[in-house]
Amino acid sequence: MDAFYASVELLRYPQLKGKAVVIGGGRRRVDEAIRNLPEGGTLADIPVEDFPLLKDYTGRGVITTATYPARQFGVGSAMGLMKAAKLCPQAIILPVDFDEYRRYSRAFKKIILEVAPLMEDRGVDEVYIDFTDVPGGQREGGRSLARLLQKAIFDATGLTCSIGVAPNKLIAKMASEFNKPNGISIVYEDDLEKLIWPLPCRKVNGIGPKADEKLKRFGIETVGQLAARDRDWLIANFGKATGAWMHEVSWGRDDRPVVTESEPVSMSRETTFDRDLHAVRDRAELGAIFTRLCEQLAADLQRKGYVGKTIGIKLRYDDFRIATRDQTIDRFTDDAKTIRQIGGLCLKRVPLERPLRLLGVRVGTLAKAGSPEALAPAATGTHRAAAEPVATTASLF
């Protein structure tokens, strides 16, 4: 989906169309502008001048999405709001409304599923679709079906998307970025040299900043330069799995199937504080935040029907270093008190000298609530007492 969060916001604030808008923050609301609305007015009636501007924003946070006009100024996803304010002070800032984005996410996925049942969910704004056996999926190399999907999605939601069609997920993902927004791009197997090899390695889904940096140190900038290296050389320098994988992707090879169903592995809640907090000085506040996170997480688990038995915490210190601790208990739970109690033990095992900027809680090793595994864990798994030493360590502190 093109600039998904921002595009959804533009549906309810059409007066902002064509303007530089960023989505982020979340603490400062447009509530005041809404309160000032005359009787009977709608969101679309809020004057453009009444929206909060990036330059007036104070507080932590990053941009999740920027409209294309905002991107002209170099503003983009994951950028800190303070930096974005320097680049584009006159941009309008809107708070994140994840519930709304989820509604539109469900809507566009439903449209796709009606046409092409083999769809893999890749998050709120992205999917893979297997065109192979969809009627008409092979016409014009897939272009005709891609057009049909774009139209159906637009008619139902008013949102545009960009589609890449290719022999596999790896290339399709890259192709989807060739023609944004509202574009279609077809990449055939024979196009590898011409269309894929000139791309920077970073464009490969799975090569992030670290791997890219290392590749650059070897003088490898493009996918083509990666393909030119020996498979054995890549394995020697990047490890068996990563090296072999890099070799495969550089030659456009990817045999991963489109996976239509999957079970969650973990669920978590975390929050960045308005200001850094000290474990001692702000103990009460931290305790209250932690309890709330545990309650939210328990509610998430219960609503979705999952229980888990690995409970963990996450801290981010003021210097941005991260520490995690977890403990596996001998039964599955979705109970806030249990999560809070085990999480509390985890917190006792982590250094708390530095100021904290984030606290999170996580439940992993999930099972469906009421499933045989969740009900009788000792009967199905090997009977072990491996969690004991950890509990002992915790009690020593």
Q: Residues 11, 37, 124, 279: which binds DNA (CB under 7 A)?
A: 124
Tell me if 80 contacts DNA by CB under 7 A: yes
Q: Residues 103, 122, 337, 348: which binds DNA (CB under 7 A)?
A: 122
Other CB atoms closer than 10 Å to residue 22's CB: what's the count?
A: 31
Choose the binding region for DNA from 41-49, 187-195, 209-217, 226-234 (rule: CB under 7 A). Answer: 209-217
* Exposure on the CB side of residue 293, measured as CA atoms within 13 A: 28
Tell me if 369 contacts DNA by CB under 7 A: no
d(CA 256, CA 322): 32
Least distance to DNA from the beta carbon of 234, Å? Answer: 14
Shorter beta-carbon distance to DNA: residue 79 or 156:
79
Cα 389 to chain center, whole Å?
35
Shorter beta-carbon distance to DNA: residue 17 or 348:
348
Shorter beta-carbon distance to DNA: residue 186 or 363:
363
Q: Residues 41, 136, 206, 257: which binds DNA (CB under 7 A)?
A: 206
d(CA 110, CA 25): 30
Least distance to DNA from the beta carbon of 276, Å? Answer: 10
Choose the binding region for DNA from 67-75, 161-169, 247-255, 380-388 (rule: CB under 7 A). Answer: 380-388
C-alpha distance across the termini of the chain, in Å = 50
Tell me if 352 contacts DNA by CB under 7 A: no
Tell me if 209 contacts DNA by CB under 7 A: yes
d(CA 74, CA 84): 8
Tell me if 269 contacts DNA by CB under 7 A: yes
Tell me if 305 contacts DNA by CB under 7 A: no
Tell me if 302 contacts DNA by CB under 7 A: no
* Exposure on the CB side of residue 346, measured as CA atoms within 13 A: 26
Please confirm whether the linkage preceding 47 is cis (ω < 30° from 0). Answer: no
Determine which one of 120, 126, 221, 373 is catalytic: 126
Least distance to DNA from the beta carbon of 335, Å? Answer: 17
Q: Residues 66, 75, 81, 166: which binds DNA (CB under 7 A)?
A: 81
3-state secondary structure 64-123: EEECHHHHCCCCCCCCEHHHHHHHCCCCEEECCCHHHHHHHHHHHHHHHHHHCCCEEECC
Shorter beta-carbon distance to DNA: residue 207 or 307:
207
Least distance to DNA from the beta carbon of 135, Å? Answer: 28
* Runs of H (alpha helix) within the chain: 4-12, 31-35, 68-71, 81-87, 98-115, 143-157, 169-175, 209-217, 223-228, 231-238, 240-250, 283-304, 336-347, 372-375, 377-380, 388-396
Q: Residues 15, 225, 237, 266: which binds DNA (CB under 7 A)?
A: 266
* Exposure on the CB side of residue 42, measured as CA atoms within 13 A: 6
Q: Residues 205, 228, 256, 348: which binds DNA (CB under 7 A)?
A: 205
Shorter beta-carbon distance to DNA: residue 237 or 266:
266
Tell me if 324 contacts DNA by CB under 7 A: yes
3-state secondary structure 342-365: HHHHHHCCCCCCCCEEEEEEEEEE
Strands 92-94 and 21-24: parallel
CA dihedral over 360, 365, 371, 374, signed as positive or negative:
negative
10-69: which residues touch DNA (CB under 7 A)? 60-62, 64
Question: For this structure, is 126 an active site residue?
Answer: yes
Tell me if 207 contacts DNA by CB under 7 A: yes
Strands 63-66 and 21-24: antiparallel
Query: Do 273 and 356 contact (CB within 8 A), yes or no?
Result: yes
Q: Residues 17, 29, 86, 139: which binds DNA (CB under 7 A)?
A: 86
Residues forming the active site? 126
Applying CB under 7 A, the residues found at the interface with DNA are 60-62, 64, 77-83, 86, 122-126, 173, 204-212, 239-242, 264-272, 300, 310, 312, 319-328, 346, 349, 357-358, 360, 365, 381-382, 384-390
